[in-house]
């Protein structure tokens, strides 16, 4: 029952924190615009006044590929820039996660200043928590390799394609399940860090003790949230197929839907954290 | 009288019979090689053992002192073979990775002449290609007891063994499924005045051999289903030993491959020339090619499909594609001359898919193959097509691979377009076809073929020995796609009728011969009536990029009054010289409408040029609907075209007929006032959305 209660509470709290999701959406838009502008300028410069190769009719996608191939000398520097940007963004993400957890788990109303303040406040502890989780991640990967090794034996002896297809997809499912354990555990450490304003090692210890007692139920909650998230994401995908990208109305709807999906991702993250926090608090009180 | 006329009749009959026999003998003797091979598959050891008789005739005027034989399987013997060394050089496109316990080899155990002389001690491995590799064992030179005189034949009896490579190229074994190709000692091609053309087995090359007559007996376990080149003429069962021997015969082919697996289903159907092609289609073809109707009619062909049981539901798709191939290759290039064609869905994991042999080819498919994606159809059409380009018109695949791969890629695109229309680009994830859920762009082969020109042109020319390409990627993109794009361009340049006659003439003239690039060029020039040697020099033999484009389009309102200082006397003189009115410098009071001075600047961005005779057209459309045409010889780096009209330029199109598919950047061939805003906005927002999700995923990992 507490799983369902926390699931519901997580959704409610997630929607009440829509402003937080909005800040994150704005940041993601800005960051993405910065990285995508060089590509957009290539597209605009090459195709802005073009008849797209007519009368040699080609699908638009092939025209895009053509112009990127023709500008391939720019790709190397662009990718290097992207990697550097990615590194900077990695640190920035830890900062944003601090703000995200801080404001989600706070009873106060969300505003931008408090969000940034939380980011600063929790940055170092969140960064350390990530570093300390690397060994745990390695253990999970080893366990994953052990679990999928029978699949490898099976595919080695295959005489048709079916074992390969089934095994490949099973490996993906197992990987996602192991990843969910890693994600859920790291979330719990951070929830404890924020809720109890504690240090990293005590939070790790508390997480371990908590999971020893409530692992499967907690994981069940996480997987339930994940399943709903996946289904809703597929819903966005199918909705998007309804709109034609050739007409103005369709393009506008596609843009709105695309940004709605990004916003939904932010909101989903808040829901996850709220639900996990709710479950932790309920079980801790008991 | 009666006695005398009977004698004469008999005499003429005898003469006729004699000449027919002589013709047959002559025709047979024109082929320098005959093979008779008996091979047994030994599944316990994954080996073959065989006895082979090679009858080789010297059809040249040279005295030939030796024979050079291909022993292709030795390329998979160890890491020091030429093929393995070249494979190690590859980074991105590593087509072959030798693995422990998967080696293959071929060993000649005995080699004697018909009169019993032992030649095994006269045999040694050689490395005829540069850089020499003394460790390569794919070419065996056999010194003959005495040089073979012109017209003389020699018969060699060989015993050999081979270990089937587990992960070879184009040949292999996996569990009990075998695909056996390049498996027997095969003489190279002796060229008069030049010697043996017998290359080592290179990573990026295929094969070259003389036309020959084959008689092959294949012994396998009784439960194996066998497919091979040619026709099955005999079958013998040996229940005591649990074996079966299949005998195949085929004349006038230059290679022989076979396959055996207990997991094949064998299905036979017929292509009927009278049913598959309508009278109207025959008539149309006859008119297009300028040939009598009887010459374009197609014979019946027996189609044999060996398909893995896991793919049985796709049998109809296989036959539909093969019918289309037999039909269109037959109509355009000439009737298929053999009685059978064997289509093989290769045994699982033998690495033998997508390959051609005379009268047999391998395709390859997947259990989940969406109908919107032309696979396996595309590969079926392509590999059947190789029966024409390589099988019958047998170019040297080592030295001029484009003559079969490029011409066939071009032909495949034509057949697929005619039979199926555009096919969706494939998209898979973890073996699952996403085409069921995501609509990918539908493209014709020529559209995707031309995409990579800009990346590949500067690396290598199309006409290049296979092993001298920069890497496998350059080899593939040049000999397949770039060559195909050049041919598509040539077709548009010459027009459908002329081009159809070029291809038909080339196929018919060089059937069962070994043409070179020069022969193809000669046919193009002869049939078109133009000297297009420049085309081949510019696009096949060079590494020059071809890119013409519009760099600037401007329309400005012509001022009613020009500023500046104007001397009346000078103005009058100037007016007298130019034939203008005395009112120079003053507004033209008669003209009320606005006049625009427009300029279009075109540029040659690449180094390759069209011939001055083949002018590039420029079409300029104005906002009042009027159209102006100009021509440019394309020799200089740029040209400017000016217009004065009461309308602005709305659109400008360079090469409006879409001839120059070779152009590496078609986007700059046009200008329009109002660009594809909707498409660009859509693409941009999709890109932005993708980037947002990418960064979000990254941040959620942390």
Q: Determine contact: B35 vs chain A, CB below 8 A.
A: no
Q: In this predicted model, what pLDDT tens digit does every residue of A248-258 receive, in sequence order? A: 888 889 899 99
Q: Determine contact: A252 vs chain B, CB below 8 A.
A: no
CA distance B470 to A158: 36
CA B543 and chain centroid, separation: 20
Contacts of A54 in chain B (CB under 8 A): 653, 658, 670
Segment holding B151, helix H or strand E: none
Please compute the mean of the pLDDT values over residues B263-278 and round it to a whole number: 97
Q: How high is the pLDDT of residue B10?
A: 57
Residue, of B135 and B13, whose pLDDT is higher: B135
The percentage of chain A sitting over the pLDDT mark of 70, rounded to a whole number, equals 97
Q: In this predicted model, what pLDDT tens digit does every residue of B72-130 receive, in sequence order? A: 999 999 999 999 999 998 876 667 887 778 899 999 999 999 999 999 999 999 999 99
Please compute the mean of the pLDDT values over residues A37-46 and round it to a whole number: 90
Q: Determine contact: A49 vs chain B, CB below 8 A.
A: yes
Q: Does pLDDT of B537 surpass 70?
A: yes
A116 band by pLDDT with thresholds 50, 70 and 90? very high
CA distance A125 to A223: 26
Put simply, the answer to whether A96 touches B680 (Cβ < 8 Å) is no
Secondary structure E strands in B71-152 = 105-113, 123-125, 139-148
Q: How high is the pLDDT of residue A52?
A: 75
B589 band by pLDDT with thresholds 50, 70 and 90? very low
Give the DSSP per-residue string, A136-203. HHHHHHHHHHHHHHHHHHHHHT-SSSHHHHHHHHHHHHHHHHHHHHHHHHHHHHHHHHHHTT--HHHH
Residue, of B559 and B207, whose pLDDT is higher: B207
Full strand arrangement of the beta sheet holding B258-261:
B172-174, B177-180, B258-261, B225-228
CA B619 and chain centroid, separation: 34
| Cβ atoms of residues B500 and B288 within 8 Å | yes
Q: In this predicted model, what pLDDT tens digit does every residue of A267-286 receive, in sequence order? A: 999 999 999 999 999 998 87
| Cβ atoms of residues B536 and B525 within 8 Å | no
| Residue in this structure with the two tokens 């002896």, named with its chain if needed | A157
Q: Phi and psi (nearest 5°) for B546?
A: -115, 115
Put simply, the answer to whether B680 touches A43 (Cβ < 8 Å) is yes
Secondary structure E strands in B15-117 = 33-42, 47-57, 64-70, 105-113
Q: Does pLDDT of B293 surpass 50?
A: yes
Q: How high is the pLDDT of residue B12?
A: 46
Please compute the mean of the pLDDT values over residues A55-63 and round it to a whole number: 80
The verdict on pTM exceeding 0.80 is yes
Choose among A63, A90, A161: nearest Cβ to B702.
A90
Q: Is the dihedral of CA B221, B223, B228, B232 positive or negative?
A: positive
Contacts of A172 in chain B (CB under 8 A): 430
The percentage of chain B sitting over the pLDDT mark of 90, rounded to a whole number, equals 83
CA B189 and chain centroid, separation: 21
Q: In this predicted model, what pLDDT tens digit does every residue of B464-475 receive, in sequence order? A: 999 999 999 999
Residue, of B93 and A60, whose pLDDT is higher: A60
Q: Which tokens in the block code for residue B252? A: 């006038």
Contacts of A59 in chain B (CB under 8 A): 441-443, 447
Reduced 3-state DSSP string for B322-387 = HHHHHHHHHHHHCCCCCCEEEEECCCCCCCCCCEEECCEEECCCCCCCCCCCCCCHHHHHHHHHCC
Q: Does pLDDT of B157 surpass 60?
A: yes
HSE toward the beta carbon, residue B526, CA cutoff 13 A: 13
Q: Does pLDDT of B584 surpass 60?
A: no
Residue A249's closest chain B neighbor by CA? B678
Q: Determine contact: A96 vs chain B, CB below 8 A.
A: yes
Q: Please name the residues in contact with A255: beta carbons below 8 A apart, sequence gap of 6 or more.
A: B685
Mind telling me how many Å the CA of B669 is from chain A's nearest CA?
7
Q: How high is the pLDDT of residue B561?
A: 83
CA distance B485 to B445: 10
Put simply, the answer to whether B702 touches A51 (Cβ < 8 Å) is no
**Domain range holding A172?**
2-285
Contacts of A60 in chain B (CB under 8 A): 441, 676, 679, 683
Q: Which tokens in the block code for residue B268? A: 């036979």
- Cβ-in-10-Å burial (0-12, 13-18, 19+) of B233 comes to exposed
| Cβ atoms of residues B185 and B70 within 8 Å | yes
Contacts of A248 in chain B (CB under 8 A): 678
Q: How high is the pLDDT of residue B23?
A: 41
Q: How high is the pLDDT of residue B16?
A: 44
| Cβ atoms of residues B303 and B268 within 8 Å | yes
Q: How high is the pLDDT of residue B19?
A: 42
CA distance B608 to B534: 11
Mind telling me how many Å the CA of A56 is from chain B's nearest CA?
5
Mind telling me how many Å the CA of B604 is from chain A's nearest CA?
15
Q: Determine contact: B684 vs chain A, CB below 8 A.
A: yes
Query: Which of A44, A88, A97, A161 has the highest number of chain B CBs within 10 A, making it the mutation to test binding with B?
Result: A161
Q: How high is the pLDDT of residue B7?
A: 57
Q: How high is the pLDDT of residue B182?
A: 97
Q: In this predicted model, what pLDDT tens digit does every residue of A152-198 receive, in sequence order? A: 999 999 999 999 999 999 999 999 999 999 999 999 999 999 999 99
Q: B51: which strand partners? A: B38, B159
Radius of gyration of chain B (CA): 32
CA distance B214 to B31: 11
Q: Determine contact: B434 vs chain A, CB below 8 A.
A: no
Q: Determine contact: B441 vs chain A, CB below 8 A.
A: yes
Mind telling me how many Å the CA of A19 is from chain B's nearest CA?
18
CA distance A52 to B135: 53
| Cβ atoms of residues A257 and A207 within 8 Å | no
Residue, of B308 and B93, whose pLDDT is higher: B308
Among the listed residues B631, B626, B622, B617, the one whose alpha carbon sits nearest the alpha carbon of residue B598:
B622
CA distance B9 to B3: 10
Please compute the mean of the pLDDT values over residues B188-192 and round it to a whole number: 97
Number of domains in chain A: 1
3-class SS at B428?
Answer: strand
| Cβ atoms of residues A273 and A100 within 8 Å | yes
| Residue in this structure with the two tokens 């050049």, named with its chain if needed | B486
Radius of gyration of chain A (CA): 23
Q: Which tokens in the block code for residue B671? A: 């200008």
Query: Which of B455, B660, B688 has the highest number of chain A CBs within 10 A, making it the mutation to test binding with A?
Result: B688
Q: How high is the pLDDT of residue B586?
A: 47
Region of poorest pLDDT, from B40-49, B71-80, B589-598: B589-598
CA distance B156 to B122: 13
Residue, of B574 and B267, whose pLDDT is higher: B267
Put simply, the answer to whether A164 touches B431 (Cβ < 8 Å) is yes
Mind telling me how many Å the CA of B78 is from chain A's nearest CA?
23
Mind telling me how many Å the CA of A233 is from chain B's nearest CA?
12
Q: Does pLDDT of A133 surpass 80?
A: yes
CA distance A253 to B685: 11
Contacts of B493 in chain A (CB under 8 A): none
The percentage of chain B sitting over the pLDDT mark of 70, rounded to a whole number, equals 92
Q: Does pLDDT of B539 surpass 70?
A: yes
Residue, of B92 and B689, whose pLDDT is higher: B689
Q: How high is the pLDDT of residue A1?
A: 54
């Amino acid at each position: 029952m507490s799983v369902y209660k926390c699931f519901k509470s997580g959704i409610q709290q997630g929607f009440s924190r829509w402003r937080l999701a909005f800040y994150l959406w704005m940041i993601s838009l800005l960051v993405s615009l910065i990285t995508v502008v060089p590509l957009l300028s290539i597209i605009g410069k090459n195709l802005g006044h073009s008849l797209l190769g007519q009368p040699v009719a080609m699908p638009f996608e092939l025209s895009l590929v053509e112009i990127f191939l023709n500008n391939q000398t720019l790709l190397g520097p662009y990718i290097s820039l992207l990697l550097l940007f990615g590194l900077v963004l990695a640190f920035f993400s830890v900062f944003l996660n601090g703000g995200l957890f801080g404001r989600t788990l706070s009873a106060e109303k969300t505003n931008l200043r408090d969000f940034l303040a939380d980011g600063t406040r929790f940055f170092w502890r969140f960064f350390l928590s990530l570093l300390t989780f690397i060994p745990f991640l390695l253990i999970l990967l080893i366990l994953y390799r052990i679990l999928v090794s029978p699949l490898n034996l099976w595919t080695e002896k295959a005489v048709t394609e079916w074992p390969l297809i089934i095994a490949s997809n099973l490996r993906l499912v197992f990987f996602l399940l192991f990843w969910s354990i890693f994600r859920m555990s790291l979330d719990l450490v951070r929830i404890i860090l924020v809720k109890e304003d504690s240090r990293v090692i005590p939070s790790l210890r508390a997480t371990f003790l908590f999971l020893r007692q409530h692992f499967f139920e907690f994981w069940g909650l996480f997987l339930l949230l994940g399943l709903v998230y996946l289904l809703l994401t597929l819903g966005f995908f199918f909705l998007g197929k309804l709109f034609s990208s050739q007409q103005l109305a369709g393009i506008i709807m596609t843009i709105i839907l695309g940004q709605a999906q990004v916003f939904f991702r932010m909101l989903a993250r808040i829901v996850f954290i709220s639900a996990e926090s709710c479950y932790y608090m309920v079980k801790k009180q008991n | 009288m009666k006695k005398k006329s009977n004698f004469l009749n008999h005499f003429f009959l005898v003469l006729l019979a004699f000449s027919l026999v002589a013709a047959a003998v002559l025709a047979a003797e024109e082929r320098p090689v005959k093979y008779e091979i008996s091979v047994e598959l030994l599944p316990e050891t994954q080996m073959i053992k065989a006895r082979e008789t090679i009858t080789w005739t010297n059809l040249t005027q040279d005295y030939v002192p030796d024979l050079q034989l291909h022993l292709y399987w030795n390329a998979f013997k160890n890491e020091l073979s030429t093929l393995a060394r070249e494979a190690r050089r590859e980074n991105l496109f590593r087509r072959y990775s030798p693995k422990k316990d998967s080696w293959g080899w071929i060993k000649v155990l005995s080699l004697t002449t018909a009169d019993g002389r032992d030649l095994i001690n006269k045999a040694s491995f050689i490395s005829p290609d540069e850089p020499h590799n003394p460790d390569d064992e794919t070419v065996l030179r056999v010194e003959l007891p005495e040089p073979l005189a012109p017209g003389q034949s020699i018969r060699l009896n060989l015993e050999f063994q081979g270990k089937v490579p587990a992960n070879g190229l184009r040949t292999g074994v996996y569990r009990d499924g075998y695909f056996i190709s390049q498996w027997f000692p095969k003489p190279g091609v002796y060229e008069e005045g030049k010697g043996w053309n017998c290359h080592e087995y290179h990573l990026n090359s295929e094969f070259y051999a003389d036309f020959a007559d084959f008689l092959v007996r294949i012994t396998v376990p009784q439960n194996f289903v066998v497919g091979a080149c040619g026709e099955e003429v005999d079958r013998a069962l040996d229940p005591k030993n649990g074996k079966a021997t299949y005998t195949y015969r085929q004349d006038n082919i230059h290679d022989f491959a076979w396959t055996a697996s207990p997991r094949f289903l064998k299905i036979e159907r017929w292509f009927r020339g009278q049913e598959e092609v309508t009278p109207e289609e025959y008539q149309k073809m006859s008119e297009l090619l300028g040939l009598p109707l009887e010459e374009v009619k197609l014979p019946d062909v027996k189609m044999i499909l060996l398909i893995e049981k896991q793919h049985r539901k796709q049998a109809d798709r296989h036959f539909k594609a093969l019918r289309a191939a037999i039909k269109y290759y037959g109509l355009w290039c000439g009737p298929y001359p053999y009685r059978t064609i064997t289509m093989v869905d290769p045994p699982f994991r033998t690495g033998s898919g997508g390959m051609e042999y005379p009268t047999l080819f391998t395709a390859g498919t997947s259990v989940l193959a969406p109908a919107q994606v032309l696979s396996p159809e595309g590969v079926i059409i392509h590999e059947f097509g190789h029966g024409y380009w390589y099988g019958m018109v047998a170019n040297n695949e080592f030295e001029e691979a484009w003559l079969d791969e490029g011409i066939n890629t071009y032909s495949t695109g034509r057949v697929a377009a005619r039979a199926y229309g555009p096919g969706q680009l494939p998209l898979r994830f973890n073996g699952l076809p996403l085409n069921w859920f995501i609509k990918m762009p539908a493209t014709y082969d020529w559209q995707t073929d031309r995409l990579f020109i800009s990346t590949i042109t500067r690396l290598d020319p199309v006409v290049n020995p296979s092993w001298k390409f920069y890497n496998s990627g350059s080899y593939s993109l040049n000999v397949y796609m770039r060559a195909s794009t050049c041919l598509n361009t040539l077709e548009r340049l010459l027009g459908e009728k002329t081009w159809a006659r070029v291809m038909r003439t080339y196929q018919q003239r060089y059937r069962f011969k070994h043409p070179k690039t020069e022969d193809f060029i000669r046919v193009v020039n002869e049939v078109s009536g133009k000297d297009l040697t420049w085309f081949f020099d510019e696009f096949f033999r060079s590494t020059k990029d071809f890119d013409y484009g519009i760099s600037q389009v401007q329309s400005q309102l012509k001022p009613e009054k020009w500023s500046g200082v104007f001397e009346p006397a000078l103005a009058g003189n100037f007016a007298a010289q130019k034939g203008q009115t005395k009112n120079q410098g003053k507004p033209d009071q008669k003209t009320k409408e606005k006049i625009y001075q427009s300029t279009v600047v075109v540029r040659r961005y690449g180094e390759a040029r069209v011939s001055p005779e083949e002018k590039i057209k420029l079409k300029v459309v104005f906002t009042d609907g009027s159209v102006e045409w100009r021509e440019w010889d394309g020799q200089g780096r740029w040209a400017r075209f000016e217009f004065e009209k009461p309308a602005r330029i709305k659109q400008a199109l360079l090469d409006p007929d879409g001839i120059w598919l070779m152009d590496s950047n078609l986007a700059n061939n046009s200008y329009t006032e109002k660009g594809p805003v909707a498409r660009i906005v859509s693409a941009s927002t999709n890109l932005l959305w993708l980037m947002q999700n990418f960064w979000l995923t990254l941040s959620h990992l942390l």
